[in-house]
Amino acid sequence: MRNPAPEFDALTGTLAGVLGFDGAAGLTDDALMETTGALERLGRWLSAAQVAVAGEIDDRSRRELGTEGLSARRGCRNSTELLERITLASSETISRRLKIGRATRVRTALTGERLPASFPSVAEALGVGAIGIDTAHTIIRGLSSVAAVVDVCSIQAAEYELVAAATGTSPESPMPCTADETRLQTDVWKVRLDQDGRIPIEERAMRMRSITLGRERDGLVWLRGALVPDVAAKFLTLVDAYTSPRTAPAFLNDEELAAHNLEHDPRTRDQQRHDIFAGIVDIAARSAEVPSMGGAAPVVMVSVRQEDLDADRGVGHIDGLDTPVSMRVIKHYTCAGGTQRVVVDDAGRIIELGSPERCFTAQQRRAIAHRDGGCSVPGCHVPAAWCEIHHVDPAENGGPTHTDNGLLLCWFHHRSLETSGWQFRMINGAPQVKAPPWLDTSQQWRPTTGSRTRRRDALQKIPI
């Protein structure tokens, strides 16, 4: 292992000034960058030394030594426990040091013969501080995963090339690669060395794929699972497609956008993914190809007492869930999905069954989708196929289920309409929107221009 004295001497003039968290503030830009690089090089050497001593402790604690092993003589089960007690580091940190130490030190055979290191190129680069333990661990872990089915010469050739790329000594890598870039290159080498290596991995993935819905807790039904990569890629593509546009209202100019800080969607990335997933579920449920249940399309049943619905209070129940839902959720369901009156007497007998009401037909939906083009909130880019139809004049107030009274809203804006402050009205069958007061102080009613034909009409009115 090389002595790091030159690196330490180079830091003599600035190290004392940056020992505290505030010391670096007094450095110039050039001095700050130079100090950062020098400290990192010194840190790599110290990390290599930690790996070396961990490997030596592990060797002196190997199982065949029994009670004479170092860890046993110190009252520890193994080298991991001994190192944890000495260093106070986490088990994950110690495990990484031991894995690298075992792979980069000269080994001792059962016969006492000294064998070369399993990864000599990594050992040399690590020892002189040319690579850090992140890069070393990436190479060792990656190539070890295919070592059982690949000859030693091929493993060593791949190791040499990866170290050369990580240190910038390869003709193809004039600059040293970061640890993340080395990880990507290691994955490429794994595929090259083991052409069939992905097959057992993918077969195991097919067996382990899952989506599990947990019990409702704190108003949420928790979901966990694992997607196969191609399904995840399709979902991420949809997420990227519908979260990349700005969602600020389209009628605001750049100055108004800046004044209201509306550069980005107010929802978190996780919330956006949830709402996109809600749109996927909704469009799948409306698909003509969805399997039927009892001769009809699958329907989520929501039950509520008529007196609670009339009084706009109380709770309802969604079929399949034990936890009740608020009247706000019930009204969202009735607006988007319609209702059917079922009267049950005190004994539990159905004495009246009405026809489904407030349900927009497929023909009405196509017409509204053509007119609106997508979610009617300005700036929202959710397409028509993913939207629900909102009764502008509420159906419970006698509003008709007619194209003159329906407009498209995405799941999020439909669900939050009561609290968001957005308002809609229909003038001779044409929808108009008014933004919340905090967003548009003029409080003007403006026509929505969601469809491409209506956008073109609006543009033609602008003088050029």
How does pLDDT run along the chain (464 residues), one tens digit per residue? 455 555 555 544 445 455 555 567 777 888 888 888 888 888 899 999 999 999 999 989 988 888 899 999 999 989 999 999 999 998 889 999 999 999 998 876 667 778 888 999 999 999 889 999 999 999 999 999 888 888 889 899 999 999 999 998 887 767 888 899 999 889 888 878 876 655 566 677 777 888 888 877 777 888 888 887 777 777 777 777 666 555 556 666 666 555 555 545 667 778 888 888 887 777 776 665 555 544 455 556 667 777 776 777 777 776 656 667 777 777 766 666 656 666 566 666 765 655 566 678 888 888 988 888 888 888 787 888 888 888 898 877 778 888 898 899 988 888 888 888 899 999 988 899 998 888 888 888 988 865 555 555 554 555 55
- Separation between Cα atoms, residue 392 and residue 425, nearest integer Å: 6
pLDDT of residue 14: 46
Q: Is 317 a member of any domain?
A: yes
134 located within any domain: yes
Contact 376, 450 (CB under 8 A): yes
In a domain, 222, yes or no: no
Question: Both 333 and 413 in a single domain?
Answer: no
Structural domain containing residue 136: 5-200
Q: Is residue 246 part of a domain?
A: no
Contact 194/200 with Cβ under 8 angstroms?
no
Taking the C-alpha atoms of residue 314 and residue 325, their distance in angstroms, rounded to an integer, is: 9
Phi, psi of 161 (to 5 degrees): -70, -40
Specify if 223 maps to a domain: no
d(C-alpha 109, C-alpha 112), whole Å: 5
Tell me, yes or no, whether 333 and 406 share the same domain.
no
- Three-state SS at 450: coil
Give the whole-angstrom CA distance, residue 357 versus residue 401.
Answer: 8
In angstroms, the CA 182 to CA 162 distance is 7
The total domain count for the chain is: 3
Work out the burial of residue 446: count CB atoms within 10 Å of its CB; fewer than 13 is exposed, 13-18 middle, 19 or more buried: middle
Identify whether the C-beta of residue 148 lies closer than 8 Å to the C-beta of residue 192.
no
User: CB atoms < 10 A from the CB of 224, how many?
Assistant: 9
Here the tokens at position 435 are: 């933004």
Residue finishing a domain among 358, 376, 403: 358
Instruction: Looking at the structure, tell me whether residues 87 and 20 fall in a common domain.
Output: yes
DSSP state of 130: S
Return the closest-CA partner of residue 163 out of 193, 194, 142: 142
* pTM confidence score: 0.48
Tell me if 441 is assigned to some domain.
Answer: yes
In the prediction, which pLDDT does 123 show? 93
What is the rounded CA–CA span in Å between residue 57 and residue 45?
Answer: 18
353 and 370 inside one domain: no
Q: What pLDDT score does 293 carry?
A: 47
Between CA 430 and CA 355 the distance in angstroms is 29
417 and 376 Cβ atoms separated by less than 8 Å: no
Using the 3D structure, point to which of 200, 220, 241 is the last residue of a domain: 200
Rg (CA), the chain: 33
Residue 154: inside a domain: yes
435, amino acid identity: A
Instruction: List alpha helices for 261-358, DSSP H.
Output: 269-286, 306-311, 327-337
Type of residue found at 439: L
Q: Is residue 292 part of a domain?
A: no
Unique residue bearing structure tokens 């139809």: 389
What's the rounded Cα separation, in Å, for the pair 138 and 396? 62
What are phi and psi for residue 102, nearest 5 degrees? -65, -30
Residues 346 and 424 in one domain: no
- Within this chain, do residues 31 and 142 fall inside the same structural domain, yes or no? yes
Do 385 and 342 lie in a common domain?
Answer: no
Rounded to an integer, what distance in angstroms lies between the CA atom of residue 380 and that of residue 376?
7
pLDDT at position 55, please?
Answer: 92
Q: Are 388 and 438 in the same domain? A: yes
Two structure tokens written together for 307: 């007196």
CA distance 1 to 214: 54
- Asked if 451 and 330 sit in the same domain, the reply is no
**Which of 153, 185, 200 is the C-terminal boundary of a domain?**
200
Let me know whether 312 and 440 are in one domain.
Answer: no
Q: Phi/psi at 328 (nearest 5 deg)?
A: -60, -40
Gap between the Cα atoms of 159 and 153, Å rounded: 10
Instruction: Give how far Cα 211 sits from Cα of 36, 188, 216, 239, 464, Å.
Output: 45, 30, 15, 19, 55
151 with 191, same domain: the answer is yes
For 80, other C-beta atoms within 10 Å of its C-beta total 19
Please give the Cα distance from 403 to 296 (Å, whole number).
25
* 49 and 175, same domain (yes or no): yes
The total of other beta-carbon atoms located within 10 Å of residue 200's CB is 10
